[in-house]
Amino acid sequence: MREVRLNNGVMMPPVGFGVYQIDKNETKAAVLEALEVGYRMIDTAASYFNEREVGEAIRESGLPRESVFVTSKLWVQDYEYDDALRAFDRSLSELGLDYIDLYLLHKPYGNYYAAWRALERLHKEGRIRAIGVTSFSNERLQDLFLHNEIKPAVNQIETHPFQQQKDANAFLKAEGIVHEAWAPFAEGQKGIFTNSVLTEIAASHCKSVAAVILRWLNQRGVVVIPKSIRADRIRENFNIFDFRLSDAEMAAISALDEKKSPIYDDMDLATVRAIGTYKIHD
Ligand SMILES: NC(=O)c1ccc[n+]([C@@H]2O[C@H](COP(=O)([O-])OP(=O)(O)OC[C@H]3O[C@@H](n4cnc5c(N)ncnc54)[C@H](OP(=O)(O)O)[C@@H]3O)[C@@H](O)[C@H]2O)c1
């Protein structure tokens, strides 16, 4: 999978650069490095507090605006209709852009129906090229697009060898919605980089475990947005098209699925309370 066509015809790169948990003081350099290596998609969010530095890096890179696919996300605090419109303007102004390529509802909590209608309006006004969601279960996603006009183009969900999201992948494929993986490396949990199945496959291709994971996701039709602040890893995570995993290797990785998150469960009560009420501004 080299490029992805979204359900409204917009083209999306298969590999992007995630900037979650990158300190704002390190963001510009990391994004500049990624753009230099060849990444043409950056994934940020209002709640990452580094949209400004992402925008600065894009401008400083000298690349034409239309050659970089920019994703940002609306936080739950701003899910009422008018709040969502205001929050979008804030993100745009932080980024220093006049449109966003992909704008996502960041969590499946709160008044996401009102928020979705605000996104539909912004999309119709040409200020967002495609709209989508993150961390939505199949059921919530199905309900959302049954009761609204525009079907989400993307669902960005935690996906890695220990939480493979096979049911979600099948549903999203059937509905023509792109499956995008967050935390492709499980944020380093559970010894993912020293897992014996993954290290063996990596050694046989002279690639890193990280590259094997990203290639495995790509061969499943999943868009990836790995994060790193290290130049060598930023490069390594981008070079995933010079090898191919066999069916047997795909099956061996498939068998690692534990079907649960080592990071957090979005439907856990404590998570719903904590994340659902987290404020990112006054
Ligand atoms: N929608 C959501 O709710 C949501 C949630 C989480 C993440 N995301 C998005 O998904 C992106 C990726 O997820 P993530 O940042 O949470 O986690 P991740 O990409 O799974 O893992 C990042 C960790 O892996 C390390 N790493 C990166 N490349 C490596 C390599 N080649 N070899 C060894 N270690 C490597 C990084 O360390 P170094 O930086 O030190 O290299 C960092 O500790 C985020 O940046 C964000 O854009 C979205």
User: What are 20-37's pLDDT values in tens digits?
Assistant: 999 999 999 999 999 999
Q: From the alpha carbon of 230, which atom of ligand 1 is closest?
A: 41
Tell me the average pLDDT across 93-102: 98
Report the pocket of ligand 1 as residue ranges, CB < 6 Å. 18-21, 43, 106, 134-135, 156, 182-188, 193, 208, 210, 225-230, 233, 236-237
Q: Is the pLDDT of residue 87 over 80?
A: yes
In this structure, the residue with its CA closest to atom 31 of ligand 1 is 233
The pLDDT of residue 9 is 98
In this structure, the residue with its CA closest to atom 16 of ligand 1 is 183
The pLDDT of residue 1 is 66
The pLDDT of residue 266 is 86
The pLDDT of residue 24 is 96
User: What are 203-252's pLDDT values in tens digits?
Assistant: 999 999 999 999 999 999 999 999 999 999 999 999 999 999 999 999 99
pTM of the model: 0.98
Q: Is the pLDDT of residue 163 over 70?
A: yes
The pLDDT of residue 265 is 87
Task: Say how far apart CA 184 and CA 74 lie, in whole Å.
Answer: 21
